A and B are shown apart, each in its own frame.
Chain A
Amino acid sequence: MSDNSRPLADAEREILKCPRCGQCRAVCPVFAERKDESSVARGRISLAKAMLDESFPVNREGENCISECTLCLACAANCPSGVETEKIFLAARAELADQLGISTIKRAAFHMLSRRQSLLPGLTFVASTFQDIPFSRLPEDSGLRLRFPVPGFDREHVLPTIARRPLRSQLPRQAGEGKRGTVAYFVGCYDNYMDTKAGRAAVSVLLHNGFSVSIPDGQGCCAMPMLASGVREAALPLMRRNVDAFFGSDVVLTVCASCGSALKHLYQQVFTAVGDAEYAEKAAALGERVKDLTQYLAEQGLRKPENELRVRVTFHDPCHLVRGLKVKAQPREALRSIPGLEFVEMKEADRCCGGGGSFAFSHYELAKRIGDRKAANIAASEAEVVATECPGCKLQLTDSLVRQQMPQRVRQVAELLAQAYGPIEIKSR
């Protein structure tokens, strides 16, 4: 048997549960492009097992195979044996990061997010001021593209615009005095530092629905990027801070499916794996209170917006929303509540867009191919706008649409709702 201190040892039971039926081959977006056993859950699980029993070395070849996965959870959702593949893959990544280390860029970014959070507003201000030098802006603020080649980055890749001021520094600690109670809002990095409009829209929607919104200090990055890269030591301080920041909040809402899924499931799983019983218990309690914005509004009763939006909209299910938080109908109901909006379902709406957090950067060629399939489905739906409920998906969908020179725009559900409700004042900090 294996060495219990290794991250993979903790996932051994899940590894053994895989009966190697190959059902994952039918649903894996990466396998659909690669047609290679090493790029599907069954192959990765075999590799994880081989790394665990040391019949295969922990090396870069293995890392390529384990990292070539968007963590879309389609394999787990369709696994007849209920294998929790995410647990295996994250443990394998932790094992690889422990033994092989991670790239300098990732290390620097994680260090900043995890240990130097206070420097980030200043840094984003500088970055925001000078971003137009290396980057050109795409129409309608959809993002940036490099003006000149930089090693390791594809010039074609659409990158997010950096906000001048982080959203959290714009928002009060408590917004509104709604009669329907107070909800806590987990902002997440993307909406905080980049797409502040979407993050602000979420607050506006809650105010319109009669809730007051608390935006606790102390919250930060959800730690999903670190966990996905296997760097648990950078993730743990952030996770503890977030758990503490939302201690006592009755309900914690997010419009980032990945943040939501991490808060809801991964925190407890990882604290348990590293033997932090105290925080595992706290994280379990937090997990029960985490909800997607549209999910919560559906439960509480969504106030119907007054303004018309005459637009044809389809919805892309973020993997971490539909399979992570198990939310599918609610965002569609929210969209359908908007007067004048015509909702159309696209084919394979719940198939991964190819984003997968940093996957789209580390595996851009694959991400493009997966994204092309999504773009084709969007085109076939004849929608004018693609709504989604995850900033990571928004970025990847934008990349696919811009690359294909398609006219459709991507919006978060909250952005469309906020537009249909009309403006509302949010006091500044």
Chain B
Amino acid sequence: MQKVVRFANKNGVPITPRGAATGQTGGGVPANGGIVIDMSAMNRIVELDADNLQVLCEPGVVHADLNAFLGKHNLFFPPDPGSTKMCTIGGMVANNSRGMRAVKYGSTGDYVLGMDVVLPTGELITTGSVDSRAVQTSSGFDLTKLMVGSEGLLGIFTLLRLKVLPKPASRGLVLAAFDRLEDSGLAVLKVFRAGLLPSAIEIMDSSAIKAANLYKPSLNLPDAEALLLFEVDGCKEAVTHDAQRVAEIVKEVTPRVEWADEPRKVAALWEGRSVVGAASGQVRPGATRVYAGEDICVPITRVPEALRGIQDIGEKYDTIVVTYGHIASGNLHAAPVIDMASEEERERVRFVADEIHQMALRLGGTVTGEHGVGMTRRAYMEQEHGGALAAMLAIKQALDPKGIMNPGKLFPDQVRQERDE
């Protein structure tokens, strides 16, 4: 790896590191040509240090494979993206992905203790203290945190040291249907105010409910303006208690609530949420769900407003937009469904995405909650970060003076042009 990077650096050849390329932003696409380094085959789980609650693995390990391995030792790696079956750990770290359980367990970055990275100039460094097996450190600049979410612009990970946790023994689920979208937000706030911390709180809007039912009629999800799924985890007794408590609290807002702590029932209820990403395209036969404006994150209190906003934008541009997401962290996945054969529709959906992104910033949010910037959201970086963007660029230039690592990503064009000049 070092040899390749040194060669590229010497000759000014762009390098694009690539995991499973399940990202939604073109992060693994070689925008300026050059070398693509596919990490898929670097997929060994190198060492499990169970007593110290950590695992060392290569970046190409698939998330589901890691958790299948850890599960045998009653451990788990908590971040849980929808693409678990195919996304790689390296990609998750590079994009600081989160997934459904972020409300309780946080982001991928919260579980990265250290890593080996080949820097853009070819040096191999270890972040998070060389030879350390500590689960925390205050020593020096936190280069691990810097590398998390760096989208392949600051180096190539070759080994990751990850924190893992004991696996919860059981899970319970509460399903609540709301006639008014706004009430769903209120229900979430009430649950938090009661001192409860579910492991996931997911929302599906009416179009997402429709899509899931079309995709799998046996789901038979209730017709509503919004559907919330609360997941609680822990020991069996705590799960039953918490699921009942959540159901009681939510019943103050809507009468349409059911809960379950029996694994098969839980799996059946959860299925509605798990298929919705896949099912979005079903709302319009022959059409495809595209990833555009798909990852905004707004303050929790403004989620209902954002959901309405997305619906309005869809109507304005005569485009079906299915929306679902992680309401407890304000992270919403909007899924426009278009006919890919129509050039006009492909063009129109760009405006849909732009308005969704602008709305997120207007509501005090961010254009991306967990997917990253890549090629598709560079245009918003100055608006979102202001002067901080220049500091990011200074870091980039210090580590990658020739700009070989994953060019064409994250930084807006005009910034790159200035740098080039």
**Is B41 within 8 A of A35, CB to CB?**
yes
Q: Check A25 for interface membership: any CB of B closer than 8 A.
A: yes
Contact of A36 among B21, B40, B64, B277 (CB under 8 A): B40
**Is B20 within 8 A of A16, CB to CB?**
no
Q: B residues 87-140 with Cβ under 8 Å of A?
A: 87
With A36-B40, A80-B278, A80-B281 in contact, is A19–B289 under 8 Å at CB?
yes
Contact of A26 among B86, B279, B289, B290 (CB under 8 A): B86
Set of chain B residues within 8 Å of A42, measured between Cβ atoms: 21
**Is B86 within 8 A of A19, CB to CB?**
no
Q: Check A119 for interface membership: any CB of B closer than 8 A.
A: no
With A17-B288, A17-B340, A35-B40 in contact, is A22–B83 under 8 Å at CB?
yes
A82–B85 alpha-carbon span in the complex (Å): 18
Q: Check A21 for interface membership: any CB of B closer than 8 A.
A: yes
Closest B residue to A42 by beta carbon equals: B21
**Is B288 within 8 A of A22, CB to CB?**
no
Q: Check A81 for interface membership: any CB of B closer than 8 A.
A: yes
Q: List 21 A-B contacts (CB under 8 A).
A: A12-B341, A13-B341, A16-B288, A17-B286, A17-B340, A21-B22, A22-B20, A22-B21, A22-B86, A23-B278, A25-B20, A25-B22, A26-B86, A35-B41, A35-B43, A36-B41, A37-B21, A37-B38, A80-B278, A80-B280, A80-B281
Q: Check B351 for interface membership: any CB of A closer than 8 A.
A: no
**Is B20 within 8 A of A80, CB to CB?**
no
Q: B58 to nearest A CB, angstroms?
A: 12
Q: B10 to nearest A CB, angstroms?
A: 27
**Is A80 within 8 A of B279, CB to CB?**
yes
Q: Which 7 A-B pairs have the closest CB atoms?
A: A80-B278, A26-B85, A16-B340, A22-B22, A35-B41, A25-B86, A35-B40
Closest B residue to A17 by beta carbon equals: B288
With A26-B85, A82-B281 in contact, is A19–B40 under 8 Å at CB?
no
Set of chain B residues within 8 Å of A13, measured between Cβ atoms: 286, 341
Q: Check A20 for interface membership: any CB of B closer than 8 A.
A: yes
Apart from A22-B21, A36-B40, A81-B281, 10 more pairs, CB < 8 Å: A12-B341, A17-B340, A19-B289, A23-B83, A25-B22, A26-B62, A26-B86, A36-B41, A80-B277, A81-B289
A-B contact count (CB 8 A): 57
**Is B86 within 8 A of A23, CB to CB?**
yes
Q: B92 to nearest A CB, angstroms?
A: 13
Q: A70 to nearest B CB, angstroms?
A: 19
Q: Most B CB atoms within 10 A — which of A13, A18, A82?
A: A82
Q: A13 to nearest B CB, angstroms?
A: 6
Number of interface residues, chain B, beta carbon within 8 A:
26
Set of chain A residues within 8 Å of B86, measured between Cβ atoms: 22-23, 25-26
Q: A132 to nearest B CB, angstroms?
A: 44
Set of chain B residues within 8 Å of A35, measured between Cβ atoms: 40-41, 43, 60
Set of chain B residues within 8 Å of A20, measured between Cβ atoms: 21
A19–B22 alpha-carbon span in the complex (Å): 10
Set of chain A residues within 8 Å of B87, measured between Cβ atoms: 22
Set of chain A residues within 8 Å of B64, measured between Cβ atoms: 26
**Is B85 within 8 A of A19, CB to CB?**
no
Set of chain B residues within 8 Å of A82, measured between Cβ atoms: 281
A26–B64 alpha-carbon span in the complex (Å): 10
Closest B residue to A21 by beta carbon equals: B22
A21–B278 alpha-carbon span in the complex (Å): 10
Closest B residue to A15 by beta carbon equals: B340
Closest A residue to B277 by beta carbon equals: A80
A100–B341 alpha-carbon span in the complex (Å): 29
Closest A residue to B291 by beta carbon equals: A19
Closest B residue to A18 by beta carbon equals: B288
Set of chain B residues within 8 Å of A81, measured between Cβ atoms: 278, 281, 288-289
A37–B22 alpha-carbon span in the complex (Å): 12
Q: A286 to nearest B CB, angstroms?
A: 26
Set of chain A residues within 8 Å of B290, measured between Cβ atoms: 19
With A17-B288, A35-B43 in contact, is A23–B279 under 8 Å at CB?
no
Q: A residues 1-39 with Cβ under 8 Å of B?
A: 12-13, 16-23, 25-26, 35-37
Q: A385 to nearest B CB, angstroms?
A: 30
Set of chain A residues within 8 Å of B20, measured between Cβ atoms: 22, 25
Set of chain A residues within 8 Å of B288, measured between Cβ atoms: 16-19, 81
Closest B residue to A23 by beta carbon equals: B86
Set of chain A residues within 8 Å of B281, measured between Cβ atoms: 19, 80-82
Closest B residue to A43 by beta carbon equals: B21
A17–B85 alpha-carbon span in the complex (Å): 21
Closest A residue to B23 by beta carbon equals: A22
A16–B289 alpha-carbon span in the complex (Å): 11
**Is A16 within 8 A of B38, CB to CB?**
no
A35–B43 alpha-carbon span in the complex (Å): 10
Set of chain B residues within 8 Å of A18, measured between Cβ atoms: 288
Set of chain B residues within 8 Å of A19, measured between Cβ atoms: 281, 288-291
Closest B residue to A28 by beta carbon equals: B86
A82–B288 alpha-carbon span in the complex (Å): 9
With A16-B340, A82-B281 in contact, is A21–B38 under 8 Å at CB?
no
A164–B93 alpha-carbon span in the complex (Å): 62
Set of chain A residues within 8 Å of B83, measured between Cβ atoms: 21-23
A12–B60 alpha-carbon span in the complex (Å): 32
Q: B120 to nearest A CB, angstroms?
A: 24
Q: A5 to nearest B CB, angstroms?
A: 19
A384–B64 alpha-carbon span in the complex (Å): 32
- The digit string for B39-70, where 1 denotes a CB below 8 A from any CB of A, is 01101000000000000000010101000000
A23–B87 alpha-carbon span in the complex (Å): 9
Set of chain A residues within 8 Å of B41, measured between Cβ atoms: 35-36
Set of chain B residues within 8 Å of A36, measured between Cβ atoms: 38, 40-41
